[in-house]
Amino acid sequence: MTCTEEYKEHIESTFHAFCKVVIRNATINAARTRSRRYKREISLEYLTNEKHYLNISCYEGHRYAFEIHQYT
């Protein structure tokens, strides 16, 4: 089967269009994920400044203990 130059260009342009759609949808999904995470996260600065009784203790290098309202 021989492919004409016109058919090759059609396949190439179809593939490019598909790639653009995939990249666009990946961008939208990443933005949605970032937005959901941002809405759910609470900063440590907020917890320490807003009198939520957050105590942070450092033990042996990189181990941390968080205590909020006497719960560890």
More reliable by pLDDT, 61 or 16: 16
Query: Quick one: 12 and 27 in the same domain?
Result: yes
Residue-averaged pLDDT of the chain: 78
Query: Quick one: 24 and 48 in the same domain?
Result: no
Query: Quick one: 32 and 50 in the same domain?
Result: no
Query: Quick one: 37 and 48 in the same domain?
Result: no
- The alpha helices in the chain, defined as continuous H runs, are 5-40, 44-49
Query: Quick one: 37 and 47 in the same domain?
Result: no
Which CA distances in Å does 15 have to 6, 26, 35, 38, 67?
14, 17, 30, 35, 54
- pTM for this structure? 0.54
pLDDT band at 3 (very low <50, low <70, confident <90, very high): confident
Domain hosting 21: range is 1-41
- pLDDT tens digits, 27-46: 999 999 999 998 888 776 77
Query: Quick one: 24 and 59 in the same domain?
Result: no
pLDDT band at 72 (very low <50, low <70, confident <90, very high): very low
The pLDDT of residue 63: 59
Question: Domains in the chain: how many in total?
Answer: 2
